[in-house]
Amino acid sequence: DAKTTQPPSMDCAEGRAANLPCNHSTISGNEYVYWYRQIHSQGPQYIIHGLKNNETNEMASLIITEDRKSSTLILPHATLRDTAVYYCIAWDGKTSYDKVIFGPGTSLSVIP
Amino acid sequence: DAGVIQSPRHEVTEMGQEVTLRCKPISGHDYLFWYRQTMMRGLELLIYFNNNVPIDDSGMPEDRFSAKMPNASFSTLKIQPSEPRDSAVYFCASSWTFSGNTIYFGEGSWLTVV
């Protein structure tokens, strides 16, 4: 199972793009990269996922490097409500859910 | 949709007491998960069910913990007897399919054992 590493914390100015990196150098070819976030006092919330191609939805964009060893979650115009812990998870979508590992994540602070 | 509903939201209990946490998953979801979150260990999967049947309980810490899902709309996580180290936030989540992008979490039950 691929492990992911993320910086423990980041700051971002309100209105600017927040770029959250994730390293998954041991990811296997069939493992997706999932991003979740957890706002204080709430349960985690799914954001986006991808396998090889870059992905975009109404919440964020996901950029995966060609070698798939790292990815970046982009919040294009961060707001104060985006202050949360962001988790990057590598999982193949087939093995047991105990392989869906929420690590320490990155604590993003959006500053006014 | 009301989302995943957990109760109680907050509970303070004395060591040795029985604690029962309750969860109502989103209607139509076939998978139900119980997670525990602490500062030390982060978010850990305790057990998950598919169609009311426990599939993987390898994350249940010890025999003091038990989980049941008597029907598709209700699950319980019980701790008996409770200990101070059980203090944590317990999340219930549900999903309509086996995937990583369809898991919906409740707001958690904050348990303090004194």
Cβ-Cβ contacts under 8 Å between A and B: the total is 53
Contact A44 B105 (CB under 8 A): yes
Residue B94's pLDDT is what? 96
B100: left (phi over 0), alpha (psi -120 to 50) or beta: alpha
Residue A90: enclosing H or E segment and its boundaries? strand A84-91
Res. B66: pLDDT tops 80: yes
Q: What is the pLDDT of residue B2?
A: 81
What pLDDT score does B62 carry?
86
Report the pLDDT averaged over residues A25-52: 94
Specify the range with the lowest mean pLDDT, choosing from A52-56, A95-99, B89-93: A95-99
Q: Compute the average pLDDT of residues A63-91.
A: 96
| Chain B neighbors of A89, CB-CB under 8 A | 100
- A85 contacts A38 by C-beta, under 8 angstroms: yes
Which tens digit of pLDDT belongs to each residue from B76-109? 999 999 999 999 999 999 998 888 788 999 999 9
The pLDDT of residue A94 is 84
End-to-end CA distance of chain A: 38
